[in-house]
């Protein structure tokens, strides 16, 4: 009976791998519609759209799209919705003024099934829904040339840490990584300097892998001056 039980587990695993592969391929194909370069914006889903932090996310996304970037988010509410709204607002204004040819696709979302009953926000132009966190994060990182992290909870910290790890281990080029909100992120910066570095758990200088800012202009300038296109030789895994 044990061999049959193992076979059943194996077949279930293979089925999940096939489903995962199909979703990844479909997601990759959808994301190729986005104009490069693209910027992924992370942040808490519990932040209200009227919050000043969400308004900053919306303003930054709008400014980035105006500057020729596309926007990728997790597709949910909060900071994600604010960023997609900023991109959507610029596209609407572009189509009304008709000052120049408007790009048809400026923002996308990589959502996750059964995540706290989240729904894809209404400002997303195209979306990909994944079954697993790891495959969702891979798509959120794979097609971006810069990353902006607004205040958030465990999920935001997880995404920030994974990006830092990919850069630190040279599995990804040193793309701009920008934290917005120095007051919010200060305890984390203190931990890096007074704990992780003191105990030699990260290398000296690793804190320079990212920048901390408080305003939209500073975040935009960092991305504009330092972004690396996805055509880099160091391919993201």
Q: For the segment 45-70, what is each residue's pLDDT rounded down to a tens digit?
A: 999 999 999 999 999 999 999 999 99
Per the listing, tokens 């989240």 go with 118
Q: For the segment 74-99, what is each residue's pLDDT rounded down to a tens digit?
A: 999 999 999 999 999 998 888 777 66
- Whole-angstrom CA distances from 82 to 85, 86, 89 are 5, 6, 10
Query: What per-residue confidence (pLDDT) applies to 234?
Result: 38
Q: Hey, how many other C-beta atoms are within 10 angstroms of the C-beta on 166?
A: 17
My answer on whether omega of the bond before 37 falls inside 30° of 0, hence cis, is yes
pTM assigned to the model: 0.87
Query: What per-residue confidence (pLDDT) applies to 10?
Result: 84
Q: Where are the domains of the chain?
A: 2-226
Q: Hey, how many other C-beta atoms are within 10 angstroms of the C-beta on 73?
A: 30
| β-bridge mates for residue 148, sequence order | 41, 178
Residue pair 148/181 in contact by the 8 Å Cβ criterion? no
Phi, psi of 117 (to 5 degrees): 60, 25
CATH class of 2-226: alpha beta
Q: What is the mean pLDDT of the chain?
A: 88
In terms of Cα–Cα distance, which of 178, 99, 116 is closest to 145?
A: 178
């Amino acid at each position: 009976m044990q061999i049959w039980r193992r076979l059943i587990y194996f077949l279930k695993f293979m089925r999940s791998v096939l489903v995962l592969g199909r979703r990844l391929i479909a997601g990759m194909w959808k994301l190729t519609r986005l104009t490069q370069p693209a910027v992924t914006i992370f942040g808490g889903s519990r932040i209200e759209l009227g919050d000043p932090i969400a308004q900053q996310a919306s303003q930054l996304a709008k400014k980035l799209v105006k500057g020729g970037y596309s926007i990728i988010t997790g597709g949910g509410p909060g900071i994600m919705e604010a960023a997609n709204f900023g991109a959507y607002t610029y596209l609407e204004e572009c189509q009304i003024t008709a000052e120049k040819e408007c790009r048809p696709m400026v923002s996308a979302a990589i959502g996750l099934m059964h995540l706290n009953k989240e729904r894809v926000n209404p400002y997303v132009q195209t979306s990909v829904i994944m079954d697993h966190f790891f495959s969702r994060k891979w798509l959120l990182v794979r097609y971006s040339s810069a990353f902006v992290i607004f205040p958030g909870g465990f999920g935001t910290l997880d995404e920030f840490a994974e990006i830092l790890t990919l850069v630190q281990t040279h599995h990804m080029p040193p793309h701009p990584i920008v934290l917005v909100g120095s007051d919010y992120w200060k305890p984390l910066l203190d931990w890096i300097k007074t704990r992780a570095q003191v105990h030699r758990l990260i290398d000296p200088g690793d804190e320079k892998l990212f920048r901390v800012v408080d305003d939209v202009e500073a975040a935009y300038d960092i991305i504009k001056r330092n972004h690396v296109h996805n055509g880099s030789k160091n391919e993201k895994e």
